[in-house]
């Protein structure tokens, strides 16, 4: 596999974090988006990340499938679909602009910073930021659908939505696991179609799929580390570190 040393390093860390976030600490996943964008470029990173997410989703569903709260998902599902359509159009327009300037790096950096801001604000205002009104649910679902399609970065949005419903830990993990398995599976043919429509600036290629295969061991390691490590670490300390690193990585993408 012809990966550069920095791609091996950042891609390997990202693979571990993907597995870790799916089975142990969902907050760890926010760091993966800017990490892969720095390693592969913004647009290519979206295609590299999706099969990795799907592989890890299978483990999350296998372990937490019985705890899913489907009623929490049905309310937001139509708006997620709307957001995914908008995200697909966004990727199409960005791809037609050509590969000479990868503006996805800037876009991903801004999205990550916005999601970080939402997370930090919710910690201060508590449930007042929780979406209960139909308009808020529509906005949340649309934002989740757009960000998951445009940059695989919907984790913080769904965390705010589901945590605001007061779900116990097991139900939160089960509902999240099913949501992202279904959404990520739906995105795969969309990314393949966009790549076929614009072969000069694709999202998923044979090269990205080979990179996925090379990085699979890291995902497996992360999956098992997450299961082992979660009871042994302070959630507050870990979340603070992840948010700080994600913010620094997002700023790098915006300013580079």
Instruction: State the average pLDDT over residues 233-237.
Output: 72
The whole domain housing 41 covers 5-255
b/e 58-95 (16+ beta carbons within 10 angstroms → b): ebbbebbeebbbeebbebbeebbeebbebbbebbeebb
CB 226 within 8 A of CB 21: yes
Write the CB contacts of 109 (distance below 8 Å, at least 6 apart in sequence): 34, 37, 250, 251, 252, 253, 254
The phi and psi torsions of 190 (rounded to 5 degrees) equal -65, -45
**How does the average pLDDT of the chain come out, rounded?**
82
Q: Is the pTM of this model over 0.75?
A: yes
Instruction: State the average pLDDT over residues 43-64.
Output: 91
pLDDT tens-digit readout, 135-191 = 778 888 998 899 888 888 787 778 777 766 777 777 888 898 999 999 999 999 999
Burial class (CB in 10 A: 0-12, 13-18, 19+), 224: middle
Q: What total number of domains does the chain contain?
A: 1
CA gap 230, 244 in Å, rounded: 19
């Amino acid at each position: 596999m012809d990966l550069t040393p920095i791609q091996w390093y950042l891609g390997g860390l990202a693979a571990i974090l993907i597995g870790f976030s799916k089975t142990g600490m969902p907050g760890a996943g926010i760091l993966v988006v800017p990490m892969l964008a720095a390693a592969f470029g913004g647009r290519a990173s979206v295609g590299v990340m999706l099969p990795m997410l799907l592989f890890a989703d299978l483990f999350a569903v296998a372990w937490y499938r019985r705890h899913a709260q489907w009623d929490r998902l049905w309310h937001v599902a139509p708006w997620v679909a709307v957001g995914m359509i908008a995200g697909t159009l966004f990727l199409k327009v960005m791809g037609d602009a050509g590969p000479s300037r990868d503006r996805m790096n800037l876009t991903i950096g801004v999205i990550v910073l916005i999601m970080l801001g939402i997370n930090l604000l919710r910690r201060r205002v508590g449930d007042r930021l929780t979406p209960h009104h139909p308009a808020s649910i529509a906005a949340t679902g649309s934002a989740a659908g757009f960000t998951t399609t445009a940059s695989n970065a919907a984790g913080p949005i769904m965390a705010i939505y589901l945590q605001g419903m007061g779900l116990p830990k097991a139900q939160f993990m089960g509902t999240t696991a099913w949501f992202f398995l279904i959404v990520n599976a739906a995105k795969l043919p969309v990314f393949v179609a966009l790549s076929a429509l614009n072969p000069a600036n694709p999202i998923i290629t044979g090269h990205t799929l080979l990179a996925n295969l090379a990085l699979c061991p890291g995902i497996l390691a992360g999956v098992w580390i997450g299961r082992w490590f979660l009871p042994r670490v302070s959630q507050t300390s870990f979340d603070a570190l992840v948010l700080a690193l994600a913010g620094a990585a997002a700023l790098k993408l915006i300013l580079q």
